[in-house]
Amino acid sequence: MPAIVEFYDLVSLLQNSSGKHFVLCDENTYKDCYKTFCKLIGLNIQSIVIKEGESQKKLDTCEYVWQTLLDEQAGRDALLINLGGGVVSDIGGFVAATYKRGIKYVNVPTSLLAMVDAATGGKTGVNFRGLKNIIGVIQPPELVIIHTPFLKTLPNQHLKNGFAEMLKHALLEGSEELHLLIDNVDTHAFYNDDIILKSLAIKEAIVAQDPNEIGLRKILNLGHTIGHAIEFAAQKNANNILHGEAVALGLIAALKLSVTKLNFNQNEADIIIDFIRKHYPTPTWIKLSHKAILNAVLQDKKNNDQQIKMVLLKAIGQPVYDVSCTLQEIENVLLEI
Ligand SMILES: NC(=O)c1ccc[n+]([C@@H]2O[C@H](COP(=O)([O-])OP(=O)(O)OC[C@H]3O[C@@H](n4cnc5c(N)ncnc54)[C@H](O)[C@@H]3O)[C@@H](O)[C@H]2O)c1
Ligand SMILES: [Zn+2]
């Protein structure tokens, strides 16, 4: 696993590497984070800037970065530093893992979602022909640096986006972690270094046990089967929803199914669901889209035949993966949401 480290570790990595160094940013992180980053490490490193947003997570963008590296005569000893959210680290990780059969890369996440989730675990890649993350490799970064002051310029909606993944980690880990989050949300728990590092550590511990997602790592998909389907249906109907907002709704569905299928405590589920609903109201278009969402659930790459395998919870901190659910059961919870 990559070490979660301080900037001086990056400085020593840079000093000990003979090749050229580059910082990949998107237009926002170039504007809001790049100068601070250079100041923090006391060096000016050449930037490569791409447009912002999920729509840039495509092979064309990789080509642009590969081409820039070639133009700059980056050798196999080059180092790419990904300064940005999950879009930048997914693209940059994939570009680095494939350029000249692999150069080293470092993630410096600047969004909450990237800090607690996307920057670690080694999954990299891009979307292709409308399918999310379908081209990519698993290649861990050399280092990950968490610097929470970057969050000051992150739009509020994106803080909520990352917070949904923190909720997921806490549900997987235990009651104490969950209460630390939900009891402190009004004091902006997401700015708290300790809570962010704890959330990240939960993911890291799971990935360390199963880096290639053969078994246990699947639990990180809690809330994502229905969450991804909601994102997919939104895209098709030109509605907007952020990944974390869709995952939050997916968590509600998973909790409801956990109550009926695995005897998850009803009162606890109600408290958590109320909390999620308060912070992530269901958009009105979802009421009209439950058939489209169901279709997307069926197309999910993780399903065989008509069996829908989901991650559910026996209790907080007790996830079970590969629980078979019927389409009817899923339709019922979608109608309740
Ligand atoms: N590889 C993984 O394991 C993994 C895990 C979860 C998510 N992801 C991927 O991550 C992506 C989502 O990541 P995201 O939510 O960070 O999206 P993002 O990278 O698009 O960032 C969200 C927005 O915030 C801006 N931004 C980022 N940091 C900023 C800062 N400090 N100040 C101002 N603006 C800032 C970005 O420019 C962008 O507009 C998705 O593509 C998803 O598939 C990957
Ligand atoms: Zn996610």
pLDDT digits (tens, 9 = 90+) for 238-279: 778 899 999 999 999 999 999 999 999 999 999 999 999 999
pLDDT at site 2? 55
Evaluated on CA atoms 221, 223, 227, 229, the torsion sign reads positive
pLDDT at site 124? 97
Enter the DSSP assignment of 2: P
Pocket-forming residues, ligand 1, beta carbon under 6 Å = 26, 28-29, 32-33, 52-54, 57, 84-88, 90, 110-111, 113-114, 117-118, 121, 123, 133, 150, 153-154, 158, 161, 243
Instruction: Give how far Cα 26 sits from Cα of 10, 37, 55, 63, 162, Å.
Output: 20, 14, 12, 15, 18
Q: Which atom of ligand 1 is nearest to the CA of 93?
A: 1
Cα separation, 110 vs 162, in Å, equals 11
Nearest C-alpha neighbor of 198 from the set 168, 175, 166: 166
* Range in 172-186, 201-215, 233-247 with the lowest mean pLDDT: 233-247
Alpha helices in the chain (DSSP H): 7-15, 27-32, 34-41, 59-71, 86-98, 112-113, 156-173, 175-182, 193-209, 224-236, 243-262, 266-279, 284-287, 290-299, 327-336
Q: Indicate where the chain has its CATH 3.40.50.1970 domain(s).
A: 3-153
Ligand nearest 225 Cα, by number?
2
**182 Cα: distance to centroid of ligand 1 (angstroms):** 23
Percentage above 90 pLDDT, the chain: 72
Q: Report the topology of domain 156-336.
A: Dehydroquinate synthase-like, alpha domain (1.20.1090)
pLDDT at site 301? 53
**181 Cα: distance to centroid of ligand 1 (angstroms):** 21
Cα separation, 64 vs 229, in Å, equals 30
Are 145 and 254 in contact, with CB atoms under 8 Å apart?
A: no
**86 Cα: distance to centroid of ligand 1 (angstroms):** 4
Over residues 78-90, the pLDDT tens digits come to 999 999 999 999 9
Mutation test of ligand 1: which of 87, 151, 191, 210 has the most ligand atoms closer than 8 Å to its C-beta?
87
Mean pLDDT of the chain: 91
Does residue 6 or residue 11 have the better pLDDT?
11
Ligand nearest 120 Cα, by number?
1
The residues facing 320 across adjacent strands are 312
Q: Which atom of ligand 1 is nearest to the CA of 153?
A: 32
- Is residue 287 over pLDDT 80? no
Q: Indicate where the chain has its CATH 1.20.1090.10 domain(s).
A: 156-336
Q: How many CB atoms lie under 10 A from the CB of residue 123?
A: 23
Residue whose Cα lies nearest atom 25 of ligand 1: it is 28
Ligand nearest 250 Cα, by number?
2
Enter the DSSP assignment of 304: B
Over residues 308-321, the pLDDT tens digits come to 999 999 999 999 99
- Is residue 3 over pLDDT 60? no
Radius of gyration, alpha carbons of the chain? 20
- Is residue 11 over pLDDT 70? yes
Structure tokens of 195? 């809570």
Does residue 186 or residue 113 have the better pLDDT?
113
Are 216 and 210 in contact, with CB atoms under 8 Å apart?
A: yes
Q: Report the topology of domain 3-153.
A: Rossmann fold (3.40.50)
Over residues 190-199, the pLDDT tens digits come to 677 888 999 9
Ligand nearest 107 Cα, by number?
1
- Is residue 97 over pLDDT 70? yes
Mutation test of ligand 1: which of 27, 47, 61, 111 has the most ligand atoms closer than 8 Å to its C-beta?
111
